């Protein structure tokens, strides 16, 4: 199954074609919203447009926790090298492995070694 993914400003636009090659519709925030937008606006757009947020920003998890929101789902990539050449395969694997959780609302943390899943609300 595929997801529509919104790639946050703190990640390379290279994620968009990478995710597309793996069957996921993707958009970089810079192509759909104001590059100066705050995280809550990005999350609202993702929720309203049925997108999973892909980010490197810990604030998204904090917002989910503070608001007890049930969406949008967020995939948080961790590591120094956040390009798809380094973390692309683990992200695609996490999207596949956590599909049902992401569809119902989850925060998935991905690094090169493992995934951690928190079901929303947290």
Q: Which helix (H) or strand (E) holds 28?
A: strand 25-28
CB 25 within 8 A of CB 2: yes
Which sequence spans correspond to the domains of the chain? 4-107
For 97, other C-beta atoms within 10 Å of its C-beta total 13
pLDDT of residue 99: 95
Return d(Cα 73, Cα 8) in angstroms, integer: 13
pLDDT, tens only, 28-44: 999 999 999 999 999 99
Return d(Cα 71, Cα 1) in angstroms, integer: 19
Q: Which helix (H) or strand (E) holds 84?
A: helix 84-97
How much is the pTM? 0.96
pLDDT digit of tens for each residue in the chain (122 aa)? 688 999 999 999 999 999 999 999 999 999 999 999 999 999 999 999 999 999 999 999 999 999 999 999 999 999 999 999 999 999 999 999 999 999 999 999 999 889 999 999 99
């Amino acid at each position: 199954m595929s997801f529509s993914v919104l790639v946050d400003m703190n990640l390379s636009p290279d994620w968009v074609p990478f995710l597309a090659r793996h069957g996921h519709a993707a958009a970089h925030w810079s192509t759909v919203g104001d590059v100066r937008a705050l995280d809550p606006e990005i999350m609202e757009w993702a929720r309203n447009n049925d997108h999973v947020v892909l980010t490197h920003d810990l604030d998204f998890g904090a917002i989910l926790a503070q608001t007890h929101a049930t969406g949008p789902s967020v995939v948080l990539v961790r590591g120094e090298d956040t390009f798809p050449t380094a973390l692309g395969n683990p992200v695609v694997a996490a999207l596949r492995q956590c599909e049902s959780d992401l569809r119902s609302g989850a925060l998935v943390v991905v690094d090169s070694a493992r995934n951690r899943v928190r079901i929303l609300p947290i």
